[in-house]
Amino acid sequence: MSKKRLEEGDIFYIREKGKYFFGKILLDVNERILKQEPKNALWTFSGCYMVSVYRGIYDELKLTTNELVIPSAFITKKYFYSKKHKIEWSYYKHEPIEYKELEFPESLINGEGMITYFTKGELKLKTDLTYQQFDKEYCILKTNHRSYYSLIDIACHYQNREDLMDIKRAFYLERSDLRFAPEKRKEVYKQIGEDINQSYYEMALKHGLDFGRFYK
């Protein structure tokens, strides 16, 4: 097993229950963002990687698709390397990150004055949702999923392989990422007046946030 520390762009695999699962490191929040801007909006994910999970549950050690079942999620970086929370990963290959293609989880927060905001990466945009709507229907909160193993379980759920899951959950990513709650997502995008099909980079740039500044 490779002992190298994973870097942005590294694809890795985990063997679980006799199957291979592939993931990719998309962003190292501390190294890429917080070293340059310690008070950046992404500080809530200090100590995290942003990762993806590839579609497919493989019998052989061969990744055959670029399609993602989980496009991005935050997990705790140290769990990849600590003895207590060891994740049995192995390096597969490297594919450079194109920062203009990075997509972040989408969530909602209720702030001062009971105003509900849409959040994605560095963005924080006001919605028209009431506190009651947020509390009863739209409580979709920022989440650090801690270990990559939890994402493997979730990926199994979205691929109809509950038989491979360790833990059955009452809910899945629909409570932490608007991208997995499509009808609610449409309504929120309508309220914030944004094109649901635009990239994160394009949307952030419109609001004066050029994510490319972290790659210069």
In terms of Cα–Cα distance, which of 188, 212, 192 is closest to 202?
Answer: 212
Rounded to an integer, what distance in angstroms lies between the CA atom of residue 180 and that of residue 85?
A: 28
Q: Where are the domains of the chain?
A: 1-95+144-168, 106-141+181-216
Q: Which residue has the tokens 């309220």?
A: 191
pLDDT along the chain (216 residues), means of 10: 80 95 98 98 97 98 98 94 80 97 97 93 97 95 93 96 90 96 98 98 98 96
- If you write DSSP's letter for every residue of 17-39 in order, what string do you get? TTEEEEEEEEEEIIIIIITT-TT
DSSP H helices, 88-199, are 131-136, 148-157, 182-192
Rounded to two decimals, the pTM is 0.94
Rounded to an integer, what distance in angstroms lies between the CA atom of residue 54 and that of residue 63?
A: 8
